[in-house]
C-alpha cells in the first residue's frame, strides 16, 4: 500500500525545523496525498502560509475563527475527512498542550477534537527534550496512542548538539508510509540476515559474494512496518538499518552463524536474505601475501555451515523463508532448494536482474505452487513477501 489518495492534515508549530516541513508537504503531495496545512501563530514566524499554500495547492489554515469554514467550526471540520494528522515540527510547548488536552488555538483544538490518528515529529533543543516535564509528556502521549517519529540527534540550530533535531523530510515520509501499513506481524519476532559475508584470505584480501544488502534491509523494514520486533544480522554493507530494528554487524559466515544462533530463540519468523559465502579459506594467512609469493596460488576452501538449513531443522523452528538468486532455470532451482532446505517459503529472482538495483521481480515458492510478485521497488516486494508470510502463518495456525 502506498500513500496514494491518503488525506493528511499537516500541522506546523513554532520551530526552525518548520522550513523542512515545506519539503515534507511537497513530498507528500508528490506521493499522491491530499495535504491540508494548518500553522500555529509561531510557525508563521519560520515559514509562510503562502509557501504551504503553494506547495499543497490548498488553503493553509491559521485561525480558529476563520469565517470561511461553515458555522465557524474550523476546529472540527478541518480534520473530519482526514486519515492522519501529522504535526511536524512538534515543539515542546505543543506536545505539552496535547499531552494535557489544552486547546487554545486552531491546531491544538483540531488535535483535541480529532477522530483520526496522530503522528508527531518532535523538534526542540536538547535540554528541552531531556527535561523531565517533556519526558512525562512523551510518556502520556505514547499511552494515549500517539505515534512519535524521532527526534534525531545532531547539531542544532541553537549551536548545541544532541537529541532534538526533527527527522529529515524523507525519513518522515517513510514514517508516514510505515504508519499506514497493516500490522500483520504485530507481537511477532522476526530475525533477518542480509548482505554478503567476507571470508579472509589474508589481512587485506577476502572472498565475498556480490550483494548490496538492499533486499534484506527492505525485508527488515517491511517487517518493522508490519509491527514486528526485528533483529537484523548483516554482513558488510553501507546501508542504514530501518528505524527501530536491532542491528548486529558481522563479517564472516561463521560470525553470522553465531549471531543467528544467539538471536533465534523465541523468534517467530526467520528470513535468510544474506548471500552467505558457501566456502571459507581453510588457513587464512596471518600476514599479507606478497606478489610473487606463488606462481600459481591455490586456496584450500572448506564448506561453511548452512545457516538457514540449521535454523529450519531446530525443534520449534521459526517460520523459515529462504532467498535464492539464480542465474538460470529459476523455477527448477528454486523448487529443489526449498525442498533441500526443508522450508515452507522461498523467494527467488534472477541475480542479473536484481543485483544492486532498487527494483526486483521476486517469485515466491510454497506448498501451493509459485506466485510471481511482478516487478517493483524492493520495499514493495518486501511488503508483499511479509503479507504472504503472515497469510501462511495464519493458515498454519488455523490448521493446528
Nearest CA to 241 among 174, 142, 173?
174
Residue 354 found at the interface with ligand CTP (CB under 6 A): no
Q: Given candidates 138, 192, 222, 307, which one binds ligand CTP under the rule CB under 6 A?
A: 307
> Contact at 8 Å (CB) between 183 and 224?
no
Backbone φ and ψ of 110, nearest 5°: -60, -40
Residue 168 found at the interface with ligand CTP (CB under 6 A): no
Name the one range near ligand CTP by CB under 6 A: 92-100, 273-281, 361-369, 389-397. 273-281
Q: Give 349's strand partners.
A: 325
Ramachandran quadrant class, 159 (left: phi over 0; alpha: psi -120 to 50; beta: rest): left
Residue 218 found at the interface with ligand CTP (CB under 6 A): no
Q: Given candidates 11, 151, 213, 322, which one binds ligand CTP under the rule CB under 6 A?
A: 322
Q: Given candidates 120, 123, 241, 308, which one binds ligand CTP under the rule CB under 6 A?
A: 308
The nearest distance, CB 278 to ligand CTP, in angstroms, is 5
Residue 344 found at the interface with ligand CTP (CB under 6 A): no
200 sits in which H/E element = strand 198-202
179 sits in which H/E element = helix 169-179
The nearest distance, CB 365 to ligand CTP, in angstroms, is 12
Measured from the CB atom, the residue of 263 and 276 that comes closer to ligand CTP is 276
- By CB under 6 A, how many residues form the interface with ligand CTP? 14
Q: Give 370's strand partners.
A: 365
> Contact at 8 Å (CB) between 321 and 271?
yes
Alpha-carbon span 221 to 225, nearest angstrom: 6
The nearest distance, CB 349 to ligand CTP, in angstroms, is 11
Residue 276 found at the interface with ligand CTP (CB under 6 A): yes
SS3 124: coil
Measured from the CB atom, the residue of 3 and 324 that comes closer to ligand CTP is 324
Residue 194 found at the interface with ligand CTP (CB under 6 A): no
Measured from the CB atom, the residue of 69 and 324 that comes closer to ligand CTP is 324
Alpha-carbon span 392 to 178, nearest angstrom: 22
Residue 116 falls in the annotated catalytic set:
no
The nearest distance, CB 160 to ligand CTP, in angstroms, is 44
Residue 252 found at the interface with ligand CTP (CB under 6 A): no
Residue 304 found at the interface with ligand CTP (CB under 6 A): yes
Name the one range near ligand CTP by CB under 6 A: 27-35, 117-125, 300-308, 356-364. 300-308
Q: Given candidates 38, 146, 207, 272, which one binds ligand CTP under the rule CB under 6 A?
A: 272
Residue 349 found at the interface with ligand CTP (CB under 6 A): no
Residue 253 found at the interface with ligand CTP (CB under 6 A): yes
* Cell numbers describing residue 366: 510454497
* Cell numbers describing residue 167: 527527522
Residue 202 found at the interface with ligand CTP (CB under 6 A): no
Residues 78-137 that bind ligand CTP (CB under 6 A): none
**Angle CA 41–46–51, to nearest 5:** 90
CB atoms within 10 A of CB 212: 20
The residue from 33, 116, 158, 267 that is catalytic is 158
3-state percent breakdown (helix, strand, coil) of the chain, nearest 5: 35, 25, 40
Q: Give 271's strand partners.
A: 192, 321
The nearest distance, CB 320 to ligand CTP, in angstroms, is 9
- Give the per-residue contact string, 366-385, with ligand CTP (x = CB under 6 A; - = no): --------------------
CB atoms within 10 A of CB 371: 15
The nearest distance, CB 311 to ligand CTP, in angstroms, is 8
The position carrying cell 514566524 is 45
All residues at 6 or more sequence positions from 151 whose CB lies less than 8 Å from its CB, including other chains? 121, 122, 123, 124, 129, 163, 164, 165, 166, 167
Q: Given candidates 274, 334, 364, 379, which one binds ligand CTP under the rule CB under 6 A?
A: 274
Active-site amino acid positions: 158
- Tell me which residues touch ligand CTP (CB under 6 A): 193, 253, 272, 274, 276, 278, 304, 306-308, 322-324, 337
Amino acid at each position: 500500500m502506498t500513500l496514494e489518495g491518503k488525506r493528511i492534515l499537516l500541522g506546523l508549530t513554532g520551530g526552525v525545523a518548520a522550513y523542512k516541513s515545506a519539503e515534507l508537504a511537497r513530498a507528500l503531495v508528490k506521493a499522491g496525498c491530499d495535504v491540508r496545512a494548518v500553522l500555529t501563530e509561531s510557525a508563521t514566524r519560520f515559514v509562510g502560509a503562502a509557501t504551504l499554500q503553494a506547495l499543497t495547492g490548498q488553503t493553509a489554515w491559521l485561525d480558529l475563527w476563520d469565517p470561511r469554514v461553515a458555522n465557524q467550526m474550523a476546529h472540527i471540520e478541518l480534520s473530519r475527512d482526514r486519515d492522519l494528522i501529522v504535526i511536524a515540527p512538534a515543539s515542546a510547548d505543543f506536545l505539552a498542550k496535547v499531552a494535557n488536552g489544552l486547546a487554545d488555538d486552531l491546531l491544538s483544538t483540531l488535535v483535541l477534537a480529532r477522530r483520526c490518528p496522530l503522528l508527531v515529529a518532535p523538534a526542540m533543543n536538547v535540554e528541552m527534550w531531556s527535561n523531565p516535564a517533556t519526558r512525562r509528556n512523551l510518556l502520556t502521549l505514547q499511552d494515549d496512542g500517539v505515534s512519535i517519529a524521532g527526534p534525531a540527534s545532531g547539531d542544532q540550530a541553537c549551536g548545541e548538539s544532541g537529541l532534538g533535531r526533527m527527522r529529515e523530510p524523507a525519513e518522515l515520509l517513510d514514517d508516514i508510509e510505515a504508519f499506514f501499513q497493516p500490522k500483520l506481524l504485530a507481537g511477532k519476532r522476526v530475525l533477518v540476515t542480509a548482505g554478503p559475508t567476507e571470508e579472509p584470505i589474508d589481512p587485506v584480501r577476502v572472498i565475498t559474494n556480490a550483494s548490496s544488502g538492499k533486499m534484506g534491509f527492505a525485508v527488515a523494514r517491511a517487517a518493522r512496518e508490519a509491527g514486528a520486533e526485528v533483529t537484523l544480522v548483516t554482513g558488510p554493507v553501507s546501508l542504514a538499518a530501518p528505524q527501530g530494528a536491532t542491528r548486529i554487524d558481522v563479517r564472516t559466515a561463521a560470525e553470522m552463524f553465531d549471531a543467528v544462533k544467539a538471536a533465534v530463540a523465541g523468534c517467530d519468523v526467520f528470513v535468510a536474505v544474506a548471500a552467505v559465502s558457501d566456502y571459507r579459506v581453510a588457513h587464512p594467512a596471518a600476514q599479507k601475501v606478497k606478489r610473487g609469493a606463488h606462481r600459481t596460488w591455490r586456496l584450500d576452501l572448506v564448506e561453511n555451515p548452512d545457516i538457514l538449513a540449521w535454523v529450519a531443522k531446530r525443534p520449534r523452528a521459526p517460520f523459515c523463508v529462504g532467498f535464492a538468486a539464480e542465474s538460470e532455470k529459476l523455477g527448477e532451482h528454486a523448487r529443489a532448494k526449498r525442498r533441500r532446505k526443508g522450508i515452507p517459503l522461498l523467494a527467488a529472482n534472477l541475480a542479473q536482474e536484481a543485483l544492486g538495483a532498487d527494483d526486483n521481480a521476486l517469485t515466491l515458492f510454497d506448498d501451493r505452487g509459485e506466485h510471481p510478485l511482478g516487478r517493483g521497488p524492493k520495499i514493495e516486494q518486501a511488503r508483499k513477501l511479509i503479507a504472504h508470510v503472515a497469510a501462511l502463518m495464519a493458515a498454519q495456525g488455523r490448521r493446528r
